Copies of this chain bind each other. A is one copy, B any other.
Amino acid sequence: MPTFSHCIVATDGAARAGVLHTAHGDVDTPAFMPVGTAGTVKAMTADAVRATGSGIVLGNTYHLMLRPGAERIARLGGLHRFMDWPGPILTDSGGFQVMSLAKLRKLNADGVTFQSHLDGSTHRLTPARSVEIQHLLDATITMALDECTPFPATPEQAQTSMQLSMRWAQRSREAFIPRPGYALFGIAQGSIYPNLREQSARALTSIGFDGYAIGGLAIGEGQATTLAVLDATMPHLPADAPRYLMGVGTPDDIIGAVQRGIDMFDCVIPTRAGRTARAYTARGIFNLRNARFADDQLPLDPDCACPACTRHSRAYLHHLFKAEEMLGPILLTWHNLSYYQALMRGLRSAITERRLDTFASVVRAGWAQEEPT
């Protein structure tokens, strides 16, 4: 069984291309992780997710602990087997969704008690329990429990919240049972304040993790601020360890973050957009519900190798969404994930060939040719 490690094979400015070695196989970085909330990337078979070029997926601890339950998944052989994904899986800590979805939350220094949004049943999540659940799920990468500081927050609120997350990071580290090829990532917080971000990065580094996530971003602060926070945080993280920007983002966000040295991303944008007729393409975003596509014989994106683009016309995709056929979300989710993964491949090649800034300019110029939607 391999040791969990991140080998950086090329750099271009602050950007890095590498390989994540894990117990469940290798992943090329920078990597985009499709979100498989409840043990399925919505509208996709596992084979279809693999066909998009995805090498690692994310599972949501909050959803899985409530249904079907972490102990049940463990009895059934773990999340990999449950969802037919033998490759690497990263699970979040559950903390973010407790705050966004659960009812009657009570937070104290030790953890959070909440009621399920499904049936009102009471549950408690502590750093140790979150890590235990992720162990039961057999997550390749476990995330430390943190509090995602809401935006906006005053410096005082942000500091108090970040310090709580750092204590929980320590407890998560203590609770984590190491196994070869498995990893625990800490999560930096600190809202938009550079000094807090630096403190948080240093605190995590001193605890010591296998990878470092940057949390509490892409929650309303705007792209310029997101990227400024990265600039303030990255210098204080270990150089070689993988860096994961949580919940980000649009293709444009991802390019900006890769240019700043981020290695891993997850976001619901490509899957959610796919279910609502929005397609990410080399020429910008298309809304397939638009009547102008009714007679459009062209492929959605002629450069894309997915079945939506190689087998069908825009007119067919338009028809599927008008007729509310399930195949619309299926094909467009497939396309959007294919587009995201093609972007990640392009970024990796560009870094390896030291032409990242040119690549970014060319890609952005393509989006600017967007046809009106």
Contacts and interface: CB of A to CB of B under 8 A. Distances in A.
Given A72-B294, A77-B297, A307-B47, A326 B323 contact: no
B46 A311 contact: yes
Contacts of A320: 39-40
A8 interface: no
A87 B198 CA distance: 62
Contact of A39 (B40, B307, B311, B316): B316
Query: How many of chain A's residues touch chain B, expressed as a range?
Result: 35 or more
A40 B83 CA distance: 26
A174 interface: no
Interface string A46-81: 110000000000000001000110001001110000
A110 interface: no
Interface stretch (A179-187, A254-262, A327-335, A351-359): A327-335
A72 B38 CA distance: 39
A67 B324 CA distance: 11
Nearest to A63: B323
A171 interface: no
A142 interface: no
Nearest to A84: B311
Nearest to A316: B82
A72 B40 contact: no
A275 B307 CA distance: 23
A327 B42 CA distance: 7
Contacts of A68: 294, 315, 319, 322
Contacts of A331: 45
A67 to B, nearest CB: 6
A26 to B, nearest CB: 22
A325 B311 CA distance: 25
A295 interface: yes
A126 interface: no
A125 to B, nearest CB: 20
A237 interface: no
A312 interface: yes
A313 interface: yes
Contact of A323 (B67, B294, B316, B329): B67
Given A45-B330, A295-B75, A326-B43, A67 B311 contact: no
Given A39-B316, A82-B312, A82-B315, 20 more contacts: A38-B319, A38-B323, A38-B325, A39-B319, A39-B320, A40-B320, A43-B327, A45-B327, A45-B330, A47-B307, A72-B294, A72-B315, A75-B295, A76-B315, A76-B316, A77-B297, A82-B316, A84-B307, A84-B311, A330-B330
Shortest 5 CB-CB contacts between residues of A and residues of B:
A84-B311, A40-B327, A43-B326, A38-B323, A68-B319
7 contacts: A38-B323, A43-B326, A44-B327, A45-B307, A45-B327, A45-B331, A47-B307
